Structure 1
Amino acid sequence: MTAGSPSGKSILFVINEAGEFVELRRVALAAKQAGYSINFLFASASYVNLRQDRAFCRLNGFNDFFPGRSLRRSHLSRQYASISQDLDNGYAPHSLKNATRPRISKLAMWSALILSSISSPIIRLSSKLNAAANARKERRSNLFQPFNYARNVYNKIRPSLVVFGQEFPGSINSLLTRMCNNDKVPTLIIPFAVGTTKEMVESLSDKPAYDSDQNLLNRTAAKLFPHWVNYYADKKLLRLPGDKIILLEACGLAPEHPWIPNNSKVTRIAVESPEMLRYYQRMQFPASQLSLTGAAYDDILYNARHSETARDKVLRRLRLDNNKPLLVCAWPTDQYGSRNLPMEFPNYKALCNAWAKALAVVHRFTDFNVIIRPHPVTDPELLMEVLRPHRLHHRVTDIDTLELVPACDLFVACVSSTLRWATACGIPAINYDCYDYGYTDFDSAGGLITTNRYSAFVQAIESMTDNKEAYQAARAQQQACAKEWGLQDGDSMKRIITLIGELAPSSTPLTPSTQDNRP
């Protein structure tokens, strides 16, 4: 039984990338209210938001683990922890509590001095030898450390349910799923993003390491394991480099269909929308694995759309006129390092200048207010440098995109999963595919304009902000298909918690309240 869980039911949430945590933390808050003990495992010690996400865990009483953090506490460490509890959370030194200073004889003092002079060179040499040995050991263990650590965390917690944000080949998720299946522990994927095979082939087709004809190991892997092979344009591709494929197959951690996102032997997948349900069905996922629940963010969008004050609150925080329409731009991230194809602009800064120029026209010559929401990884100095000449630097905000989308009248982004939020809310959107991925994920959303050319992007913005008839037509089309992209009844979190309860029943029959669905 895990400490702090009155029902003895413990959930382990596994985080591989930052986007997963944003979605799963909402579920964790609701699951805690429903009586579960919550644990987060960050798959890598180099996880980009480790510090801030661990702080969120501590603030909400969640246990957190990451490779490198010890899972054992010795008798001495427990003794030291007991003493430290009386030291004002680190503000008071122990010497104030232990007021008496011991008397030391001259013999003892000189003995300690002689011992120090003799042992110091030995200790320094030993430290150097240990450092070199540890470096060699670290190089050998880097590949397996996340897997070994995940196994140890699982054995320590013995969870009643393990929850993932996605599944992909080579992740620790595969190992944990296998362990859970062996122990008859249920597993659940709560997807954090739209994932398709198209994304895989686009991101890998221009990288030599994934070309099946690149080297002997790749050719061997393609021959032995043909399910790892896929074809796109004029390329014969592998989902992973050959050496990793062979290793995963040897360890029994390979998926049946490596090119299908979330292909896994998990117990259940919490499907976000009817559109995604149809996608999983086309990819031949078994019906028993799919549960249409909606997503955690659905309820936030629903509450915002059905609140008379939600939009007003956002506009007041932004100090904007409530009578003017609002354009929200999810600023594009720098993906030049992941694309070896010729781009429309020579570098990221040039691309940013082009986006700023297009938005500045809206800001200066239309009734629309413009707000820019940068991605957390965006360089703030570069962004300010780009926006200042266009007088848009004061239009940047850190308000959660999930709050901004239902408050806006037009949403602009670059191949982002956040576009489905706008579609689910019936809000016209522009998807400028400036990295030329060619995704067709949102083709069924009639009021969402997708283009991969800057001139068409500028034309689309001008049309949506200056042509009321075109805007109203796009809005009507978005509203017509909104129900296919989200379950907008305010009960998605309840369905997710109900599903969790079916997989790992809690003795505390609670359901999440509205306030637990906040970002």
Structure 2
Amino acid sequence: MNISKRKRLFCVVYEPGNFNVWTKLVEHGRKTGEFDCILWSPYCLPESMRYQDEAISNGSVYIEETTPSGGLADIYSRLSGWLSADFPRLPDDLAAIMDGASTPADPIPSAAALDFLEELSDSDRLSVLREVDIIRRRINFCDDWLARLGVDAVLLAEDNVERDSYAWIAGAKRRQIKSVVVSYGALSEQEAINAYKRSQIHSVDQTQANFIRKWFPHWLAEGDDFRITRIPFHTALAREFTNTAPFNPWLVNAGHADSIIVESQRMRNSYIDAGFSGHSVQSIGHPTQDTLALKFLDRDNLRSRACERYGLDKSLPIAAIAMPPDNTATTTGCYTEYSEVIRAFSEIPNNTLHMNILISPHPNIPNYVREHLAARGYLCINGSASDIIPIADLYIASVSSTIKWAMSCGLPILNYDCYNYNYNDYKQCLQVIEVNSEQLYRDSLELLNIPEKRARLTEIAKAEAQEWGTLDGGATDRLIHLLLG
């Protein structure tokens, strides 16, 4: 099979949810014959064997760089049949020479970068340059594979300063390959601060704080009892030195991707308000919204089948619950033990609401939690929250990105901020009840038990649904057109 003639998408997989999204593109490419996809993870994810089998069955390939034991995986033999028969795109410096210019192979550090190095101690300077070397080698690795595989576009579900997304984007830019972030996450500077304000590797001493405050203050966050940089001090300086730093390291997707795709105009506005370029952020929808659209159109039929499958009472409304992952170690919220979080999102609503309860555990929740819930008689679905949102009458979550999906389906929402993130994403949304204590949570559940109260919230939610995404089934087609059109 000559697969080099088709367009080729390179989809980076950091988390299980990323694989599910990219699989939609894989299936689209297989059906239309317009392109093929390579799914690539820098890690070894828990269900790697299933991912490999599923990718092969769809005419694709799923690659992981590491083995379950932490060793290096054999990626060469698995990709030998995917190497491009065409000449690779020239890197930008050689392409510039063809155009009559002369540019260095690697970006020259700015004068400011050289100046800040001079102010560092010898040991700090050496640590920074070692990090620079790691960054450059990773970019070279990504560049090399994108060239070998004849990639036409790189897709990421998130450009996170902690991951290697910067390297795939930089490698793509060298080869004049389009890089696109297909995001459904919300923007929050506070999330990273909450997660790392107790981290020793992120903390900086007074001398380091003074240095970073002088040169790159956007990397620093301070409070009464903490002082941290977004990533470790030397790595942050190395990112500045290599011109791979985001403009705001505390926000996701603030790097150098060509385009950022969001689900709705409301999300696009929030990006622009946060300082992103209006040119780079485009509201064309998300592939998951196409799944929501299909299921929402067939809501009555799917709802009836779900009632039969799970033994639900057809006369009762359905409450869909997104069980949050265990973040008790990095937050100062309502609970100190994850078992209490599990109770809050299972036992409490089950004992309070006169409704059918369906629970969608977060992808990062281990299987033993699912087994524990099942043993206690709770109905946990194996798929995504997108499988039950379209058939639900109420959505309960904890500061989850999936809340936007429920809003696009016109559902009233109870957002229990049990980890005390205190984000502003939905504070102005009348269809969302936000609480941050168990007592308020219980009171709100009692309120939502009243059909008239719930109906009023549903009316508001349906009126606002379009603001949070158009469920027209065309998001994937619009994305493909942007990538390959």
1:226 matched to which residue of 2?
217
Q: Which of 247, 265, 273 pairs up with 1:256?
A: 247
1:405 matched to which residue of 2?
389
Amino acid of the structure 2 residue aligned with 1:161: A
Q: What are the within-5 Å matches in structure 2 for residues 117-128 of structure 1?
A: none
CA contact (8 A) 2:143 2:172 kept: no
Q: Which of 351, 357, 364 pairs up with 2:341?
A: 351
Does 2:470 correspond to 1:487?
Answer: yes
Does 2:442 correspond to 1:458?
Answer: yes
Distance 1:344 1:227, change over 3 A: closer
Q: What are the within-5 Å matches in structure 2 for residues 118-517 of structure 1?
A: 149-212=141-204, 214=205, 216-217=207-208, 219-230=210-221, 236-307=227-298, 308-339=300-331, 341=332, 343-362=333-352, 366=354, 368-382=355-369, 385=372, 392-465=376-449, 467-502=450-485
1:97 matched to which residue of 2?
none
CA contact (8 A) 1:165 1:191 kept: yes
State the distance in 2 between where 1:3 and 1:194 align: 40
CA contact (8 A) 2:8 2:152 kept: yes
Distance 1:376 1:176, change over 3 A: closer
For residue 145 of structure 1, report the CA deviation from its aligned partner. Answer: 7.8
Q: How many residues align?
A: 425
For residue 157 of structure 1, report the CA deviation from its aligned partner. Answer: 0.8
TM-score (ref. length: structure 2): 0.80
Amino acid of the structure 2 residue aligned with 1:374: P
For residue 22 of structure 1, report the CA deviation from its aligned partner. Answer: 2.3
2:115 matched to which residue of 1?
none
CA contact (8 A) 1:328 1:373 kept: yes
State the distance in 2 between where 1:394 and 1:256 align: 45
State the distance in 1 between where 2:262 and 2:316 align: 36
Residues 149-158 or 160-169, more deviating: 149-158
CA contact (8 A) 1:336 1:348 kept: yes
Is the partner of 1:301 in helix, strand or coil?
helix
Amino acid of the structure 2 residue aligned with 1:180: A
For residue 153 of structure 1, report the CA deviation from its aligned partner. Answer: 2.1
Q: What are the within-5 Å matches in structure 2 for residues 43-122 of structure 1?
A: 43-44=42-43, 46-67=44-65, 68-73=72-77
TM-score (ref. length: structure 1): 0.75
Does 2:6 correspond to 1:12?
Answer: no
User: What does the per-residue CA deviation read over 1:176-219, in whole Å, with 9 as the maximum and x for residues that have no partner?
Assistant: 2222222221111111422322322332334344344x365555
Distance 1:215 1:71, change over 3 A: farther
User: What does the per-residue CA deviation read over 1:140-184, in whole Å, with 9 as the maximum and x for residues that have no partner?
Assistant: x99988656434422321311111111122432212222222222
For residue 36 of structure 1, report the CA deviation from its aligned partner. Answer: 0.8
CA contact (8 A) 1:349 1:386 kept: no
Distance 1:192 1:43, change over 3 A: farther
CA contact (8 A) 1:5 1:36 kept: no
Distance 1:272 1:355, change over 3 A: closer
Is the partner of 2:329 in helix, strand or coil?
helix
Distance 1:406 1:41, change over 3 A: same
For residue 236 of structure 1, report the CA deviation from its aligned partner. Answer: 4.8
State the distance in 2 between where 1:269 and 1:163 align: 10
For residue 338 of structure 1, report the CA deviation from its aligned partner. Answer: 2.2
Amino acid of the structure 2 residue aligned with 1:331: M
For residue 386 of structure 1, report the CA deviation from its aligned partner. Answer: 6.3
CA contact (8 A) 1:268 1:289 kept: yes
Q: Which sections of structure 2, spanning at least 5 residues, go unmatched? A: 66-71, 82-132
Does 2:27 correspond to 1:37?
Answer: no
Amino acid of the structure 2 residue aligned with 1:41: W
Distance 1:283 1:354, change over 3 A: closer
User: What does the per-residue CA deviation read over 1:258-284, in whole Å, with 9 as the maximum and x for residues that have no partner?
Assistant: 223211222212221111110111123
Is the partner of 1:346 in helix, strand or coil?
coil
State the distance in 1 between where 2:233 and 2:239 align: 10
State the distance in 2 between where 1:402 and 1:382 align: 20
CA contact (8 A) 2:188 2:251 kept: yes
State the distance in 2 between where 1:142 and 1:249 align: 14
Is the partner of 2:472 in helix, strand or coil?
coil
Greater RCO structure (CA 8 Å; 6+ sep):
1
Distance 1:144 1:216, change over 3 A: farther
State the distance in 1 between where 2:187 and 2:291 align: 22
State the distance in 2 between where 1:31 and 1:218 align: 49
Distance 1:198 1:335, change over 3 A: same
State the distance in 1 between where 2:21 and 2:169 align: 20
State the distance in 1 between where 2:216 and 2:344 align: 45
Distance 1:160 1:387, change over 3 A: closer
Larger Rg: 1
CA contact (8 A) 2:26 2:36 kept: no
CA contact (8 A) 2:259 2:282 kept: yes
1:107 matched to which residue of 2?
none
Distance 1:337 1:152, change over 3 A: farther
State the distance in 2 between where 1:11 and 1:205 align: 37
Pairwise CA RMSD of aligned residues?
2.8
State the distance in 2 between where 1:264 and 1:350 align: 37
For residue 232 of structure 1, report the CA deviation from its aligned partner. Answer: 5.9
For residue 468 of structure 1, report the CA deviation from its aligned partner. Answer: 1.6
Is the partner of 2:400 in helix, strand or coil?
coil
Is the partner of 2:166 in helix, strand or coil?
helix
State the distance in 1 between where 2:431 and 2:266 align: 16
